[in-house]
Amino acid sequence: MTVINTNGAALRAMAATQRANADLAQSMAKLSSGQRINSAKDDAAGLAISSSMTAQIRGMTQGIRNAMDGVSLVQTADGALTEVSNMLQRVRELAVQAGSGTYSMTDRAALQSEVSALSTQIDQTLRSASFNGVSLFNGNAPVYDADNNLVDASVKLNIQAGPNIADTIPVAIPPIQTTYIREDVSYWYNYEGRLTEPVVYDNYYTGPTSHLVTFDDYMAGGKIGGKLIGRDDIGRITYPQTGDQWYDPNGTRYSDYDYDTYKQRREFSLTDELNVTNRYRTDHTLKRVDELLGTVASVQGQLGATGNRLESAIATLTSGTTNLSEARSRIADTDYSDESVKLARAQILAQASTAMLAQANQSQKDVLKLLGQ
């Protein structure tokens, strides 16, 4: 049937041209962006999967950076403790030196000058050590709760080393104690307000010819000749005189309940604890330094273990990021070999359909021949 109102061949050629042009535009978009999925219509399911993978990849990439920051924090703390350990070793060396009876009081004072400087620096190092404004050590005085229980003063952090909520690595840095609390050992109040007192010596005392002033004497509020014992008196050897009061380890004591309720505490700084001016204080200093060295070594061991865990997490996240990126690439990235073939095909079809459309439009001129034109 010959008609002029409807040119079926031209319509079919036009539809083919539109399809070819759409395929051509799609191929060019994929090749120019490098993405196989440029909109949901390209692959709705693939878009959802690749979006989820992208979230995981970006989360893991940030987790790697977080873990690296955690490693830097651990290294900073470890470096501070290494310096503290070196200073403690020097204090111990000075204490061993001061333990010899060949040194005069002047010599001990000179040794104490260096010990005091080192103890002050140790305290300052631990208090000021920080990473990006985060304090690394809680070297302050122990904190007690309402029930007189020691509160854990550890520095506790969580490193978000992964894309999910549960992907955290805890970093706990136990405190390095630089302040010590001693409790009164003699003045224990009971519910009636009574208290026990140290033994009182008088002129008729016929006991030992000398007395070593101890920390207990100081904490009990003891006296030398009626004068309260000061911290500088600890470790002195005194001789009995009127007004002496010493701590009595066998004195009256009240119930633990009353003791816990009313006991008092006094604070000793690290400089108070590390003292080599006499043999008693020197022995105490050696004990304290050994405790601190053990604590520092223990904390460094924990930091080393945490650092190793963070580095393992970095390696795992790096591997996971690589594998997941490859998986996403297979879904979302353009295969240039395949898409280049599709582009060539679309270009040929577009040209061919355009040519056929021109031919279909030309065929309508044959109607004129039927009209005698």
How sure is the predictor about 280, in pLDDT bands with cuts at 50, 70 and 90? very high
Q: Which has the higher per-residue pLDDT, 192 or 17?
A: 17
Instruction: Read off the amino acid at residue 273.
Output: E
In sequence order, the 6+-apart residues with CB closer than 8 A to the CB of 329 are none
The CA-based diameter of the chain, rounded to the nearest angstrom, is: 159
Residue 364 has pLDDT above 80, yes or no: no
Residue 52 has pLDDT above 50, yes or no: yes
Residue 139 has pLDDT above 70, yes or no: no
**Average pLDDT value for residue range 316-322:** 93
How sure is the predictor about 347, in pLDDT bands with cuts at 50, 70 and 90? confident
Sign of the torsion angle spanned by Cα atoms 232, 236, 242, 243 = positive
**Average pLDDT value for residue range 133-143:** 72
How sure is the predictor about 116, in pLDDT bands with cuts at 50, 70 and 90? very high
Q: What percent of the chain has pLDDT over 90?
A: 38
- DSSP calls for 208-253: -S-EE--HHHHHTT-EETTEEPPGGGTT-EE---TT-EE--TTS--
> Which structure tokens are listed for 243?
């007004």
Q: pLDDT digits over 167-205, tens only?
A: 999 999 988 888 888 876 654 444 444 444 555 555 445
215 closest CA partner among 225, 230, 226, 227: 230
- CB of 195 closer than 8 Å to CB of 218: no
Lowest mean pLDDT among 62-66, 125-129, 284-288: 125-129
Delineate the domains of the chain, giving CATH numbers in brackets: 53-178+271-321 (1.20.1330.10), 199-263 (no CATH)
> Which structure tokens are listed for 113?
């000058």
* pTM: predicted TM-score of the whole model, two decimal places: 0.75
3-state secondary structure of 61: helix
In sequence order, the 6+-apart residues with CB closer than 8 A to the CB of 27 are 339, 342, 343, 346
3-state secondary structure of 205: coil
- CB of 18 closer than 8 Å to CB of 346: no
How sure is the predictor about 261, in pLDDT bands with cuts at 50, 70 and 90? very low
264 closest CA partner among 342, 334, 357, 186: 186
3-state secondary structure of 7: coil
Mean pLDDT score of the chain: 82
Lowest mean pLDDT among 50-54, 84-88, 262-266, 311-315: 262-266
- Which phi and psi angles does 348 have, rounded to 5°? -65, -45
